[in-house]
Amino acid sequence: MTPDPAQIRAARQTLAELGVTLADLQDNPAETPGIPTLADYLPQVIAAAGPGATRTYGNYWTRMATAWGNRRLDQITATDIEAMQHDAATHARTRRNTRNGRHASEHVIAAARAIFNRAIADDLIPAAASPAHRVAKPRRLPSPRRALTATELDHINTAARCSGNDPVLDALLLRLHTETACRRGGALALRLTDLDTTQCLVRLAEKGGTLRWQPISPLLASRLADHATARGALEPGERLLRYRDGRALTTRRYDHLWKRLGQQLPWIANQGISTHWLRHTTLTWVERHYGYGIARAYAGHTDNTGPATTTYIKADLQTVATALAAMTGQPHPLAQP
């Protein structure tokens, strides 16, 4: 509708009589105490986030605070987020598993959504007002990971045992991940109390707060116990895996291990092979020989998503131990005859 010039003149005259200007009618952050600026609100988001989210999104939250820290949450637009998404993809650091900045692009959107999800939960903005949810995430590409062949796995283990400043530790790590198909976080979180040498089990605490007992071979159980004793893990709550000087193992050991192996075996570096490929290798073997239900239990997948059939094909600890015994060729005390 075209505004009436007479009404505009009357409105301006009324504002002049009241001593009010158009600038006075515009939004002022200081006059909107219900919606904080990003800089004021971000510490609450970080405090509520878990350590994994903080580790993944921390750098992106810092960039957002630098770019938009003085803006209220309702003043950040989808265009702002999309511009940062493109910038992150363009300047992403080149890594072994890089995909032209695709991961950085995904993480910008996920980091922004984490902020606005918290704001929605705190009733600071309505769900429909979230700019982060109006920016589409890049479609997730299929993973390039696959099961390693027996020959490839043998070459990896041989190279690890014949190089490096601690080949005993590296061989133990590779064996642990091959037998249990655990993730790096599960291995690093192992404590002395999580090792049961009598029933040959380790208790794995992995992502999503999952906790499970996983069978291991008697040989690996004894090697882990010897490792802990030799490197100073005496109290039940102390970390199991350790460097030679007694310090608890960190992710840096994995990074150095695969970088070294990639230098000796170029195909490792070319394909971006990492510890998670061992998980693919073991679970593929179990699925091929024992079926999907047992492979699912072996992997520690306890979520309820997927076909309803998964409710009825749950495998128990004894069945997983049986699959392990067949894979390693070593008897296990819990394995079925």
Residues 6+ apart with CB under 8 A from 318: 334, 335, 336
- Dihedral sign from CA coordinates of 190, 198, 287, 309: negative
- Span between the terminal Cα atoms of the chain, in Å: 84
Percent of the chain with pLDDT over 70: 85
Overall average pLDDT of the 248-262 stretch: 96
310/240: higher pLDDT:
240
- The alpha helices in the chain, defined as continuous H runs, are 5-18, 22-25, 38-48, 51-68, 78-90, 102-121, 150-161, 167-180, 184-188, 218-230, 251-264, 266-271, 276-290, 292-299, 317-328
Contact (Cβ atoms closer than 8 angstroms) between residue 241 and residue 187: yes
Look at residue 15 in the predicted model and tell me its pLDDT: 62
Half-sphere exposure of 176 (CA within 13 A, CB side): 29
Nearest to 112 by CA among 93, 72, 84: 84
Q: Work out the mean pLDDT of the chain and round it to a whole number.
A: 88
Measure the CA angle with vertex 92, ends 91 and 93; round to 5°: 115
Measure the CA angle with vertex 126, ends 32 and 305; round to 5°: 145
Look at residue 30 in the predicted model and tell me its pLDDT: 47
- The full DSSP string for 90-101 is HTPPP-TT--TT
Model confidence at 330, in pLDDT bands (50, 70, 90)? very high
Domain ranges in the chain? 5-134, 150-328
Give the type of residue at 30.
A
Look at residue 96 in the predicted model and tell me its pLDDT: 52
In angstroms, the CA 178 to CA 189 distance is 17
Residues 177-210 have pLDDT tens digits of: 999 999 999 999 999 999 999 999 999 998 777 8
Overall average pLDDT of the 72-87 stretch: 93
- The pTM for the full model equals 0.73
Q: Is the pLDDT of residue 304 over 90?
A: no
Stretch among 51-55, 131-135, 178-182 having the lowest mean pLDDT: 51-55
Stretch among 31-40, 76-85, 283-292 having the lowest mean pLDDT: 31-40
Residues 91-113 have pLDDT tens digits of: 766 555 554 567 888 899 999 99
In angstroms, the CA 117 to CA 133 distance is 9
Six-digit token string for 331: 């008897």
Look at residue 91 in the predicted model and tell me its pLDDT: 77
Q: Which CATH superfamily is domain 150-328 in?
A: Intergrase catalytic core (1.10.443.10)
Look at residue 301 in the predicted model and tell me its pLDDT: 81
Residues 6+ apart with CB under 8 A from 191: 236, 237, 238, 239, 240
Residues in a beta bridge with 202: 195, 214
Q: Determine phi and psi for 52, rounding to 5 degrees.
A: -65, -45
Stretch among 160-174, 216-230, 247-261, 299-313 having the lowest mean pLDDT: 299-313
Half-sphere exposure of 332 (CA within 13 A, CB side): 27
Percent of the chain with pLDDT over 90: 69
Q: List Cα–Cα distances, 166 to 170, 279, 300, in angstroms.
A: 7, 23, 30
Model confidence at 136, in pLDDT bands (50, 70, 90)? confident
Contact (Cβ atoms closer than 8 angstroms) between residue 161 and residue 167: yes
Q: Is the pLDDT of residue 172 over 60?
A: yes
Q: Is the pLDDT of residue 8 over 80?
A: no
* CA 33 from centroid of its chain's CA atoms: 35
Residues 9-48 have pLDDT tens digits of: 766 776 676 665 665 555 554 444 578 999 999 999 999 9
Contacts of 91-98 with C-beta under 8 Å, sequence gap 24+, read 96/262, 96/269, 96/272, 96/274, 97/144, 97/272, 97/274
Look at residue 312 in the predicted model and tell me its pLDDT: 63
Look at residue 231 in the predicted model and tell me its pLDDT: 95
Look at residue 132 in the predicted model and tell me its pLDDT: 92
Give the type of residue at 44.
Q
Overall average pLDDT of the 54-59 stretch: 89
